[in-house]
Amino acid sequence: MHRSEFVGPFRRPHYARAFWIWIGLMFVSLMCVAVVAQRLLGPRALHSHSVVFCFAVTFGLGVAVFWLVFRFGRVAWLVMALLMLSVALALRFFS
């Protein structure tokens, strides 16, 4: 069976080029979100330490999630997508 080189599974995900591409894309998107949030909410709305803390937590969780999905392949991508969808729906309806 042909294995996709972009979604895994990989025995050692941190050696895969696609893993680092996804990490780089996540880093760039988090930087853009921080800039857009500062522009929309104003410079005084978010303190710099809270922005750095949220960035660090999100980046750390993202690296762990990407490592897991690259390690276990397509099934893990599906599980993570469904988990993110359920969290988004819970936040939408219960907040």
Q: Are the C-beta atoms of residues 69 and 83 closer than 8 Å to each other? A: no
Residue with tokens 């099934």: 75
Residue with tokens 């969290």: 87
DSSP 8-state code for residue 44: T
Q: What is the pLDDT of residue 32?
A: 92
Q: Which of 38, 84, 79 is nearest to 61 (CA)?
A: 84
Q: What is the pLDDT of residue 1?
A: 44
Q: Which of 81, 59, 60, 78 is nearest to 9 (CA)?
A: 78
Domain ranges, ordered by start, for the chain: 13-94
Q: What is the pLDDT of residue 46?
A: 77
Q: Quote the tokens at residue 18.
A: 């696609």
Q: What is the pLDDT of residue 24?
A: 94
Q: What is the pLDDT of residue 13?
A: 79
Decide: pTM greater than 0.85: no
CA triple 52-58-60, angle to 5 deg: 100
Q: What is the pLDDT of residue 45?
A: 76
**Per-residue tens of pLDDT for the chain, all 95 residues:** 445 566 667 788 778 888 888 899 999 999 998 888 888 888 777 788 888 898 999 999 999 988 888 888 888 889 989 998 999 999 888 87
Measured CA to CA, the distance from residue 5 to residue 43 in angstroms comes to 42
